[in-house]
């Protein structure tokens, strides 16, 4: 369910409206999907207080298939996760841990990830879960105290990164053209955001088999958008932002 929308088709930030702030006077007003690539027109729903208000596409102009602005395209239900248990840096640290081949180690890692003693209480864990949560919320919203725009760099939040990409972040990006890998150095070359290509990114691998696996997977879907979870730093020599890739859990091709 949409938590926010825009009053004008240009999606100016001054025109954003949050479902939680909507009033009866907003019921019959036409709004626009927060996905810049989606033409859907929205209306505010559930203002009677039976459940939280939300934005939904009207019958005339619907969401694009697969677009992130539509709840029907989301693979997660946020109410199934416990916001208070989520710590962004801890989540990304877990994603960056090499996957152990030992059953005992895997079980230990799973125990650290959950560790609540209650199977119904669980935080967001995977890169895709965290990404979808960020997409469903405005960049100036927070999730357990952390600003959405500081967790995810995408077209909406790139203005928050005037000094670059540093520390733990998920980055929405595409491949560098024409070449996006170096077999000898075990590196992948990407650019962000996916539309403006403001930042050059280099993914560095120690594990040759992991590099080959992700490179080949991306080569087969090389025009797709990808998301990468990393602990980013800047290289003056290479004029790019770098992160180590230790696990396939850090890298997701969006199809």
| Cα 228 from Cα 207, distance rounded (Å) | 17
For residue 218, pLDDT over 70 is answered with yes
What is the separation of C-alpha 189 from the centre of its chain, rounded to a whole number of angstroms? 19
What is the structure's pLDDT at 119? Answer: 58
Least confident of 2-11, 22-31, 71-80: 71-80
Quick one: DSSP state of residue 165?
Answer: -
| Cα 173 from Cα 229, distance rounded (Å) | 11
For residue 177, pLDDT over 90 is answered with yes
% of the chain at pLDDT higher than 90? 67
* Predicted structure pTM score: 0.85
What is the structure's pLDDT at 66? Answer: 60
Cα angle 10-14-15, degrees, rounded to a multiple of 5? 60
| Cα 186 from Cα 191, distance rounded (Å) | 17
What is the structure's pLDDT at 113? Answer: 46
164: left (phi over 0), alpha (psi -120 to 50) or beta: left
- Mean of per-residue pLDDT scores for the chain: 88
What is the structure's pLDDT at 59? Answer: 72
**119 or 148, which is more confident:** 148
């Amino acid at each position: 369910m949409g938590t926010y929308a825009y009053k004008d088709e240009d999606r100016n930030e001054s025109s954003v409206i949050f479902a939680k702030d909507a009033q009866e006077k907003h019921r019959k007003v036409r709004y626009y999907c927060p996905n810049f690539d989606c033409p859907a027109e929205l209306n505010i729903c559930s203002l009677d207080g039976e459940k939280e208000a939300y934005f939904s596409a009207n019958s005339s102009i619907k969401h694009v298939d697969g677009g992130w602005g539509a709840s029907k395209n989301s693979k997660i239900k946020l109410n199934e996760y416990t916001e208070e248990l989520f710590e962004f840096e801890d989540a990304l640290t877990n994603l960056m841990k090499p996957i152990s081949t030992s059953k005992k180690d895997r079980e230990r890692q799973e125990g650290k990830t959950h560790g609540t003693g209650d199977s119904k209480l669980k935080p967001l864990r995977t890169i895709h879960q965290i990404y979808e949560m960020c997409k469903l919320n405005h960049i100036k919203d927070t999730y357990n105290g952390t600003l959405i725009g500081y967790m995810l760099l995408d077209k909406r939040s790139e203005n928050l990164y005037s000094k670059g990409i540093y520390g733990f972040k998920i980055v929405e990006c595409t491949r560098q053209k024409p070449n996006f890998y170096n077999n000898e150095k075990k590196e992948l070359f990407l650019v962000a955001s996916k539309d403006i290509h403001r930042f050059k990114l280099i993914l560095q691998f120690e594990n040759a088999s992991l590099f080959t696996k992700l490179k080949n997977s991306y080569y087969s879907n090389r025009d797709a958008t990808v998301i990468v979870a990393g602990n980013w730093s800047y290289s003056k020599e290479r004029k790019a932002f770098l992160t180590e890739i230790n696990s396939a859990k850090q890298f997701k091709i969006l199809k």
